[in-house]
Structure 1
């Protein structure tokens, strides 16, 4: 299976058109069609179906698309790392994280490196802990910030000295909006919009005890913006971290902390025995220094 043909396949899947994809790839349409027919023959499966509405993927085509995206992304990252394996410190540092105020620490380290290493760039992937771990295991990112338990035999970590506090995001005209703090009794029976990470479910079990199964979970989210939109439309009360959604000014939303306080600490993790680029190694060294300095000043 040729990486070049995988790129052709992804272009057709993205454009949903052979003619548009051929134009983007600077190929003739017959050449592109022949290359993808040979790919289908090699796999013994139909991947693409033409119709008056365009090109759609078969079930096998959707499977290949997911894997092809990972293969092409990893190939591009590998090529970049090999080209940049010289004395200069340049290239891209790949970081995955959920939505957290701790991203500020990443930005601070990047700022500290900017003057001495202007050729270091950054690529951020947003997702929940499960998504970040998967990307890390596949070598698609260098580092991740997670809030769930992890296997310390597979990953090294630096604990982040910032705590994210849980609270409730709601409309300003919601019945609970007048309260300064929200208790778990306040939420009993109300429709809740909750994060889908595994460790959050464990947290709810600890907080609500045997009543967890009776909670009115209206929706789950993996990105707080999506949860905030649902809350804004009156779907329910969104449980999430503070400092992530702007509730100031004329926003119709407000955020109320939970009482008793529920706080979590994240970890900045990477695979044990990694093969880092100079850019990634330089970033990690500076990040550790910044964390030590921050801890001393606390």
Structure 2
């Protein structure tokens, strides 16, 4: 799923409107500016509850962390920030978000750059500047996601654990700038979070050791980096997943080919995004279940009562169980 041209235009207009709205909102605010509500303790605002959970793990219980999007049914691609959202983002000491066009409403409000005392952490920028810089991410046998703003690169980087670890380290560094007295605590929390990420990596490494090259299908490429870490092959026609992600109708040929993969058990699992299902994807799920192909559910935001580590561990384990 991605920001369509029409939604991109709407979002741009919304961003302009929100900038004006915030000017009025800020005049009556007593938040004390980027230092937080009491003027001396950092506060963090994240675009989604995914990045809020990562921030909470690093910041600890004494730092206020809020997320703009925390409902499982919300779609960050097309989300339109309210004036209240804009005020929260602009008043935050630190803004943590996905970037890559995924949560464009944040860039529309804060401009995507550190300004004055306000700091930002953009996960996609860390992805592009880190270990994956310069890589060409392939989708099956063809380069996928050409419709994205960043060529063939997939923006769902919260499924890329090395990037998530970089985000945690960056949050610790930014908090140290804002709150030097507690710098060691933030660094230690990032270390602990990193060790917890390693437990998820252990699952994907085990999948890779036992099932490298095993073909699977996806309804859309949300969990691309999970499959990449597990060294699985996404056999889904790129035309199908791109159409689902772009919220357009897949061609009859790509639908037929994807259904054939499932009916004939040419794939060992179907990775299914439950937050963006429609008639076509529901049909694929029914086809998989009818052929006894395991369905692995994934989401784009955290389920209720789960943190990032619990969420990713559950998904990775489900994938392992499906292939086992």
Q: Which has the higher contact order (CA 8 A, sep 6+)?
A: 1
Q: Scaled by the length of structure 2, what TM-score is found?
A: 0.32
Higher helix share: 2
Larger Rg: 1
Q: Scaled by the length of structure 1, what TM-score is found?
A: 0.34
Higher strand share: 1
